[in-house]
Amino acid sequence: MQPSLNAWAFLVMPGMGGRELVERLMPRRPNLAVIHTSGYTDNAIVHHGTLDPGTDFVPKPFNASALLGRVKEVLGRAARKTG
C-alpha cells in the first residue's frame, strides 16, 4: 500500500491550532502523515513550544521545490515504516 500525505496543518488556525488538530486525529489514524506550515520561522516555533522538535515543517513562504522535497521526504519515511 502506497503511503499518502493525509494532513497539511497550519500551526495557527481559528479555534484550534494545527498541533491540536493532529492530536485529535491521531487516535483515529495512528499512521497519519502530517506536514505543518506557518509564517513564523521554525526556530521561533520550536523555541516557543508550538512545534515539537522532529515534526515535519515547511516555513512560509515556500517554493514548489521546497514543498515537493518535504512531501517526498515524509512519504518516503512513511513507506519505510509500513514497508
Domains and CATH numbers, the chain: 7-82 (3.40.50.2300)
pLDDT of residue 61: 87
pLDDT band at 7; cut points 50, 70, 90: low
Give the Cα separation of 57 and 22 in Å (integer): 13
Q: Are 1 and 82 in contact (CB under 8 A)?
A: yes
Assigned C-alpha cell, 7: 494532513
Q: Which is more confident, 81 or 42?
A: 81
pLDDT band at 5; cut points 50, 70, 90: low
Give the Cα separation of 1 and 83 in Å (integer): 8
pLDDT of residue 75: 83
- For the entire predicted model, the pTM comes to 0.69
Give the Cα separation of 68 and 2 in Å (integer): 17
Q: Is the pLDDT of residue 43 over 80?
A: no
